[in-house]
Structure 1
Amino acid sequence: MKKILLLSILSAFIFSGFAQEIPRFNPDTIKTITLDSVVNIKAERLNIETFINRIVNDTSFYESFRDMKRYSFIAENRIFSYDKKNKVDGKIYRKIKHSNAGQYKMEYLMKEESGNLYKKNGKYQLYTIEMFDYIFMNAYNTDFIPNAPASDGKGGTNEGYKNKLKTLIFNPGRPVKVPFIGSKTEIFSANMRQYYDYTFTSGTYLDSIPVYRFKVSVKPDLSSWTKDGIMIKELVTIFDKRNFNILGRYVDMKYGNMLFDFDVKMNIEMGYFGEDKLPTKITYQGNWDYPFKKEERASFLIVHKDYKLEKGK
């Protein structure tokens, strides 16, 4: 069971840089921010703990995904899978209209698929794609249906994994009960802080929003052995200066041992729509390798647009 759990957690979002990278799928930084200058946080009456506490205790980032159920919107989803030579061997493109006016409806405006994507039973060939689809693209519609019952983590294999995935994606810095990984996610613990540098930069997000960029990165002068044991290589968080809302998150994770290897780059960006903060772009790229399983390589670009708040929502 522990091996199955580990496989599911990793395969949901573990991807690495490919020899043939597609620039728009390479989330090396949050692209929609223009940086101005390094910030002296003491002069602005802030401190490191202010930013760390906000990251660890924030729930609004996940709630933004839940708030989507009050809106109708268009989603464009592009997924690529790769073979061992980094050549594309599977493609998925979906343009979907999610309508929450009355009873929820999902309409495919365009759907294109090619390559080696599915098993004989109709499930995805790559478990990476299946779990990503479950969490972000809502293959089973659960998170978009108004008043859907909340999962208690006991409603089946995917439901149990889903809660742990949410912690890894939406609450970085917290411990996750995953074999061989758990404490490595606690980058703000007293023990882990010695391995990281913290930098603060002022900038402008989406051409008009004043923001802080808080970057946590592994110290460059650490030994190779020490660096190899650190899972989260970099975590970048974008804060709205006006209200300290988190508008963007980029994470770079890499780790390997005798049982598995993974390397993931992930970027999530938000935008304001009325009084709500909603996801506008999600990008992933990377690979994972696990014994007795085919090595999986994939990249994703998810764009949400044309949000419309429905009456009574």
Structure 2
Amino acid sequence: MKKLLFLFTFTLSVICSQAQQIDRYNPDTLRTIVIDSAVNIRSHRLRAQDFIDAVMQDTSFYLAFQNMKGYAFTAENRVFTYNKKNKVEGKIYRKIFHSNVAGTHKLQYLAKADSGNVLKKNGKYQLYTVEMFDYIFMNAYNSDFVKADAAPGETKGKNEGYKAKLKTLIFTPGRRVSGIPFISSKTEIFGDDLKQFYRYEFARGKYLDTIPVYRFKVIRKPSSSVDDVMIQEMTTIFDERTFQILGRYIDMKYSNMFFDFDVQMNIELNYFGGELLPTKITYQGNWDIPLHKEERASFLIVHKDYKKE
């Protein structure tokens, strides 16, 4: 009887482990930063407006992705797609060595694997989310998920217009992003209409164990409703020595009769030869938008071994 019970338990455990869903990547900047303490910014001769101005005026965060053009590096791209029960439905993996030979970008595949339900009948990837990722983050180098027909910065059709606006939201947050129905008025988180729904938090810590940083968190007040705002939280990491932005975490949720999305994204940079370059992007999100199938996906994008060319 004990043997039968053991066999049953073992078989059940094997079945459960095979059916277990893969936890989505948790795109949380705090996992890379050790916070020393909350900080009184006045003692550092800083004001909340100094952080707001830096967020609004910064261009180096976006330029870090353009800086990749001058480097050889290895990219590891992992994508998981999910069904409505949040069980893994498809997997995409790419390990690619990027380089420039005589000014021409070259790709060398070190590993390439797809499994599950990831492609359409025409051979293209099913996820519109993947297409958005390529447009937003890979203007310098294509990630191989989508073959770009337009030159960087070009837009072709309504979809490209929406992706360009989403790029603005991620890289220059706090500005009004016009042209997106029912959302444009929700993006000015530092404006007079929305700032009443947010509180600011400041802390100091170490990024990657060595770089002293400030953490500036804009977070929805508990007294407000999720529906009052679209950006639930935005955390920005500043190099304490230079005030350059090294990382950004953003949590966006919104739902109405036209849109329904719940997205968290984290972007991290690091110094290579004194120049800022992207090292990690993590993403998890659910999208349900007009004319597209509902999508559930998570990404882990890692860039490493940068070498100046």
Residue 255 of structure 1 aligns with an amino acid whose one-letter code is Y
Verify: 1:120 aligned to 2:96, yes or no.
Answer: no
- Please name the residue that 2:190 is paired with: 188
Q: Which runs of 5+ in 2 are unaligned?
A: 1-19
CA RMSD of aligned residues (A): 2.1
* TM-score normalized with structure 2 length: 0.86
Matches within 5 A, 1:257-276: 257-276=256-275
Local SS of the residue matching 1:122: coil
Partner of 1:96: 96
1:290 offset after TM fit, Å?
Answer: 2.9
In 2, the alpha carbon distance for the partners of 1:175 and 1:38 equals 30
Alpha-carbon contact 1:185-1:231 (below 8 Å) kept: yes
The total of aligned residue pairs comes to: 283
Larger Rg: 2
Residues 38 and 88 (structure 1 numbering): CA distance in 2 closer, same or farther, change over 3 Å?
Answer: same
Using the TM superposition, give the Cα deviation of residue 191 of structure 1 relative to its aligned residue in structure 2, in angstroms.
1.6
Determine which structure has greater relative contact order: mean sequence separation of CA pairs < 8 Å that are 6+ residues apart, divided by chain length.
Answer: 1
Residues 1:301 and 2:300 are matched in the alignment: yes
Q: In the alignment, does 2:92 pair up with 1:65?
A: no
The change in CA–CA distance for 1:150 and 1:284 in structure 2 (over 3 A counts) is: closer
Question: How many Å separate the matches in 2 of 1:195 and 1:74?
Answer: 41
- Structure 1 regions of 5+ residues with no counterpart? 1-18
Which residue type is aligned with residue 274 of structure 1?
G
CA distances 1:141-161 after superposition (whole Å, capped 9, x unpaired): 779xxxx965254x4555434
Distance 1:105 1:186, change over 3 A: same
Question: What pairs up with 1:76-91 in 2 under 5 angstroms?
Answer: 76-91=76-91
Distance 1:124 1:165, change over 3 A: same
Contact kept, 8 Å, 1:30 with 1:269, in 2: the verdict is: no
Alignment match, 1:213: 215
Q: Secondary structure at the match of 2:50?
A: helix
Which runs of at least 4 in structure 1 moved beyond 6 Å after TM superposition? none
Q: Distance in 1 between matches of 2:171 and 2:52?
A: 14
Asked if structure 1 preserves the Cα contact closer than 8 Å seen for 2:89 and 2:117, the reply is yes
Query: What one-letter code is carried by the residue in structure 2 that aligns with 1:271?
Result: N
Letter in 1 for 2:268: E
SS in 1 for 2:233: strand
Q: TM-score, normalised by structure 1?
A: 0.85
Q: Which residue of 1 aligns with 2:204?
A: 202
